[in-house]
Chains A and B, each alone.
Chain A
Amino acid sequence: MRIPRLAVLAACGSFVVAADTPSKAPAGTTAEMFSEDLTIAMLADGRVLLHFDFEMHGPQATNSSLHSYGLLPRQIGEIAQRYGVSELQLAFTQGTWREARWGVPPAAQGIGAEVIAQLADGADADAQWSGLTNALSGVFCASLNFVGTESTTSPRLAFAHSQRGGALRHGFLPRENVCTENLTPWIKQLPCQAQSGVAALLNPHRLFNMHFLSVAMALNSDADTLRYRQTLSVVVDTPAYDRSWALSALAGRALAAPCPVATRSSVRVVAPAAVQVAPQADSTHSAGTSVTHLFDLQRRRVDDIVFTFSAEFDDKTKYWAAAKDTPVPAIAAHRHITGHGSSGGIETVITNHRDVPMTVAYFDAVPWYLRMYAHTLSVRATGADGHTSQLTPNQIMFTPAVDRGRPAVLELELELPPQSRTVLRYDFDKGFLKYSEHPPDANRGFTIAPAIVSYSLAPSDTARPLSCTPGTTCAVRVYTEPALASLPTPDFSMPYNVITFTCTILALFFGRIFNLLTRDFAVLTPAK
């Protein structure tokens, strides 16, 4: 009897050790791998982009509850297994990426919280999805559990490139703000947390004093491997209007020694040639006007990086001129709500900046309370010659909305002419909501999730996101800005007035009647 017990205890002990110091427990983690990279890019308007990229590989769990997770976060592995997730993307984004100034985004994310999941076939996908969002909500302290059926869609065109069979679900919460409570669990999933390596720069005080912040994770589950990637992109102002500043001043923290379990630990600096970078990088290569400096933190210890700008950057107005030369992404999309009053419309402008026709998929999920009229859809393209003509989509998929059930989904496949501007328009009427369906700040309006334009980037295109390796074909998603639709709002103080009136009257009547019924009236004779 004693021996098995001891064995169990020993097993538990070794497991705990393995989880705490993975590098010292080679047995269970030989296949596990972790790499950390930081890209620092000087943007054309004088701001700085920091893009953190952490990647983990591990073997697929064979026996769910007893699987030993070394580097990979156990909570994520278990969630993936429990809900049959083969692919999962989650992003929290705040701030708009200004592609006209900053160029190509490091990874496209729409403002708000977005979950995309590929769920295994067979099982009840809706139940799995609901469980998944609730679990993620708990892990990341986010309101993802509010991704109900009303904001869930199953795109058919937009994410076709990532489709591997099974049920694809997409959920978007446009009003979700990114907060430290989302960042903390995200940091805790890193093997060295924020204690060492480039992750030491993850200083919440600095990260949230930003212009753009996107915290994302992606899970990819094969038959035998589990890949988990955590990325964080942030655009911040330079520390001061000074010609020379250090990375430690920018982040408010210094670089630490690389994470001991990391197989790769690097810092990449992309800056104009006029910017001097000290210390000397391990390798540099230039492309166009910008130079890439690469630091390998595993080869040598780098405590700080100092950037010195030449005098030509003194004049801040030159930044704006420089912004005009920033390589623009192939496709840009912006969406606006049109009209006012009880009806309105949506106008999306998609610009093709390339000299070749581009095939894009347009995806827009319109909430049911904006009663969309599919017959009002018009697509007009203005070419480089200024000539405007009707553009016929290659494919139209429209799913009508169900009240309080699902959103209306419009998916189009469009072939955009070269150097063209395409304007999509469709109209809607604003529905009346029950008073209890309004958010607490009803008069602000309802935020409508961004529309998504996805396309595949040609290998020859140089303006590509950081996540996309050069020389390959990548699937790129472009998000429009969210929109605000103001719906007719009732006077919410009315029920309150009615309640107070009724209560007052009740109290008065009840008080008097109660008094009359319970009090005993008697004539007192003065005591002598």
Chain B
Amino acid sequence: MSLVLSGQGEKTSPLLRVARKYSAYLSYPLAICGLLWLLALPLSSFSRRAYFSENAMMPGQVYTTFGTQSHMDAMDRVDAELKTKDQAQAVEAVFASIGLDTETQEFTYTKVPRIGKHAGTNVHGILRAPRSDSVEALVIAASWTTANNASNVNAVRLMAGLAQYASEQVYWARDIVFVVTDSGEQGIEEWLRAYQGLTTTSPLFVRSGIIQAALSLELPPAKRYTGLGLYFEGKGGQLANLDYVNMVQYVSRLERMPAYLHGLKDVPRRAHWWTKYTSATQLLLRQVRAQAFGLSTGIHAPFLRYRIDAITLAGLPQPDDPVSAVFAHGLFTDADVPAAPMQRQIGRTIEASFRSLNNLLEHFHQSFFFYMLPANQRYVSIGDYIPAAGLMIASLLLQAMHLWWMQGPDELRSDSPHTRITRINAYYALLRATLPSSVGIIWRVHALGLVLLLIPQLIASSVLTDATTTAYLFTMALASISMVLHTSDIYWTRRIEWQQLKSIVSVYLAVVVACLSVMNFSLAVALFVVAGLPLVFTRVCRVDTRIRRALGVLMLVAVSPVCMMTLGMHVLGCSSNPFRVFLADFYRFGSLVYPLVCLVYWPVNLLCMIIVLIQ
């Protein structure tokens, strides 16, 4: 009853009355403002200079000593062992000779449900901190191949040198775990699951305490590096604590091996504002891509799921590097190691970072976990970017309110006190007649999304190759669109209020975007752009002719998941269909993107089509 009364303006505050009066005009500019706010984020006046919140870290307060002969010898030992043993055994032998507690983990995994078994091997060595109680640990991780499928033996070599260095020191307050995997992110995920006792199939017995921070290393073949790329986004959009990112940037600059966010170099301070703006935009877009879709570089990503702050440092080879060029032609030999000063600089960067991590008294908690970084050593705090999401949500909600008011014939909206009872009765009858059909359509479309979500997990998905995935997607798209046409055909003859339907969908989407924006801002924005904006502008002008309706549906098809993913394959830089990538990430890392596509994006897109088609 209160629904009816509030619809009739019986129980409204003056504020709501004002809002309703202007809601018809407000929602479009609000949506545009939200987008403009996003476009303003790269402006340098929006961001602030990075600073350290955690004073205990004391970054850059130590003399770094990495690079003595014993450390170089330990690195050479990796090469010597690799000549006679396979990768895992060689690393284990080197770790054991340094005095670490080592263990090898053999595991099998499936990339996508029931698509063949893959096997992998992880090796880890634990450096026990003297006089400590082994309740906390730091992790250095490396995979045998980098994210670009290049050899990462340089990183494994450097790890051996670092292990040797660390074993000579007495000041460690927590254990240091050195992990080498041969299966990239999946290998680290398996290792973490075993370390945390979440799996019993390939358990670990040589363990230390809870992991406070992790750092992964990638050094593609090169003689010289111009700097390091710093990556900090996790699989589900979690970010490493800002203090950690700042600290690594700071100490790397002291060691003259600067860590650049996503490998993008600094813009000179006196550059034109437009140059700064475009550079910041590029950096932000890379972050949005990594955060929203989990398309991250580096094996630090799985750590963040377990509330472990982690980053990846990746070497950036010089553009004209001889070894890097040779490697591109497949003629790389392991003897072409980076120049010794390079190894020393990178090693000292990591040494300085670990000394700071070692100084931490508590888990990272002082600084931001939600931020955007538009330039090296600058940040935009959540308070400055969240209003963009607020504006978008407000636009959806205002429109929903307006449309709820606008449903039914015009007589319902008269102000005359004499017809009050009649109006309430008419309004009640209207809701009884139309609400079930609106909710019914929404349920039906969502059931379709549920089918889309479940089918790849139920069918024998060895058929889910790239080509079949695309075919499957198009089949689903055609089936769903024909269903849309069919349903709207039924409802053409029946009375249904498109205002009511759009209002409910708007509220639903606003709630989803609002919840998402505080978890994964990038994903929330992406969802609003592909699903929210089309919804706001659906049926913004009259659709009284068949041509107009067809145009509207065509535009909605253009922003449908199938089109977006086919186009997005190149924009996102996926090697295969994004649908398949999201499916795999959902299965392996519990990523939210795939369920969101199936249960929100696709249904909302289909509902928009229905709204256009209803007369």
Binding site for B on A (CB under 8 A): 45, 94-96, 98, 100, 111-112, 174, 209-213, 317, 319-320, 334, 336-341, 345, 347, 349, 421, 423, 425, 441-445, 447, 481-484, 486, 489
Contact = CB atoms under 8 A, between A and B. Distances in A.
9 contacts: A319-B99, A338-B196, A338-B197, A347-B197, A423-B203, A442-B362, A482-B133, A483-B135, A484-B136
Given A317-B97, A340-B306, A445-B363, A211 B197 contact: no
B363 A443 contact: yes
Point out which of B135, B209, B306, B362 has the most chain A C-beta atoms below 10 A from its C-beta.
B135
Given A95-B132, A441-B362, A320 B198 contact: no
B235 to A, nearest CB: 14
Interface in B359-378: 361-363, 365
Nearest to A345: B197
A257 B128 CA distance: 38
A45 B99 contact: yes
Contacts of B306: 340
B97 A320 contact: yes
A443 B128 CA distance: 22
A188 B559 CA distance: 82
Contact of B198 (A209, A339, A489): A339
B492 interface: no
A425 B307 CA distance: 22
Nearest to A485: B210
Nearest to A317: B97
Interface in B183-207: 196-198, 203, 205, 207
Contact of A211 (B131, B209, B307): B131
Given A100-B101, A482-B135, 15 more contacts: A45-B99, A98-B128, A111-B133, A112-B133, A317-B97, A320-B96, A320-B97, A337-B210, A347-B197, A349-B205, A425-B197, A444-B362, A445-B363, A483-B135, A486-B307
The 6 closest A-B pairs by CB, nearest first: A338-B197, A443-B362, A95-B131, A484-B135, A444-B362, A443-B365
Nearest to B365: A443
A6 to B, nearest CB: 56
Contact of B134 (A96, A421, A444): A96
B308 to A, nearest CB: 8
B135 A481 contact: yes
B307 A96 contact: no
B99 A334 contact: no
Contacts of A98: 128
A112 B365 CA distance: 26
A421 B205 CA distance: 10
A162 B307 CA distance: 44
Interface in B65-106: 96-97, 99, 101
B475 to A, nearest CB: 39
B130 interface: yes
A174 B135 CA distance: 11
Nearest to B308: A340
Contacts, number: 80
A447 B135 contact: yes
Contacts of A337: 209-210
A376 B7 CA distance: 53
A94 B363 CA distance: 22
A56 to B, nearest CB: 29
A336 to B, nearest CB: 5
A72 to B, nearest CB: 32
Contacts of A45: 99
A404 B205 CA distance: 33
Nearest to B197: A338
Interface in B108-165: 128, 130-136
Nearest to B100: A320
Contacts of A319: 99
Nearest to A111: B133
A211 B198 contact: no
Contacts of B365: 443, 489
Nearest to A96: B134
Contact of A445 (B101, B130, B207, B210): B210
Contacts of B307: 340-341, 486
A213 B361 CA distance: 22
B334 to A, nearest CB: 23
Contacts of B363: 443-445, 486
Nearest to B130: A211
A167 B362 CA distance: 38
A341 to B, nearest CB: 7
Contact of B209 (A95, A341, A484): A484
B127 to A, nearest CB: 12
A444 B210 CA distance: 10
A340 B363 CA distance: 14
A96 B128 contact: yes
A320 B207 CA distance: 19
Contacts of B128: 96, 98
Contact of B361 (A100, A444, A447, A489): A444
B241 to A, nearest CB: 11
B197 A336 contact: yes
Nearest to A208: B131
A320 B94 CA distance: 12
A165 B130 CA distance: 40
A217 B141 CA distance: 43
A482 B209 CA distance: 9
A210 B132 CA distance: 10
Contact of A338 (B96, B134, B198, B362): B198
A484 B136 CA distance: 7
A338 B197 CA distance: 5
Contacts of B197: 336, 338-339, 345, 347, 425
Nearest to A45: B99
Contacts of B132: 95-96
Nearest to A319: B99
A209 B307 CA distance: 34
Contacts of A320: 96-97, 99
Contacts of A484: 135-136, 209-210
A293 to B, nearest CB: 28
A484 B210 CA distance: 7
B602 to A, nearest CB: 30
A483 B131 contact: no
Nearest to B211: A340
Contacts of A481: 133-135, 209
Contacts of A317: 97
B131 A94 contact: yes
B427 to A, nearest CB: 45
A249 to B, nearest CB: 18
B131 A210 contact: yes
Contact of B210 (A111, A341, A486): A486
B358 to A, nearest CB: 14
Nearest to A443: B362
Contacts of A211: 130-131
A441 B361 contact: yes
Nearest to A100: B101
Contact of A95 (B101, B130, B196, B362): B130
Contacts of A338: 196-198
Interface in B447-492: none
A338 B207 CA distance: 11
Nearest to A175: B133
Nearest to A110: B133
B207 to A, nearest CB: 5
A287 B101 CA distance: 28
A111 B133 CA distance: 7
Contacts of B135: 447, 481-484
A489 B427 CA distance: 50
A337 B210 CA distance: 8
Interface string B252-295: 00000000000000000000000000000000000000000000
Nearest to B101: A100
Contacts of A489: 365
A213 B362 contact: no
A339 B99 contact: no
A389 B136 CA distance: 32
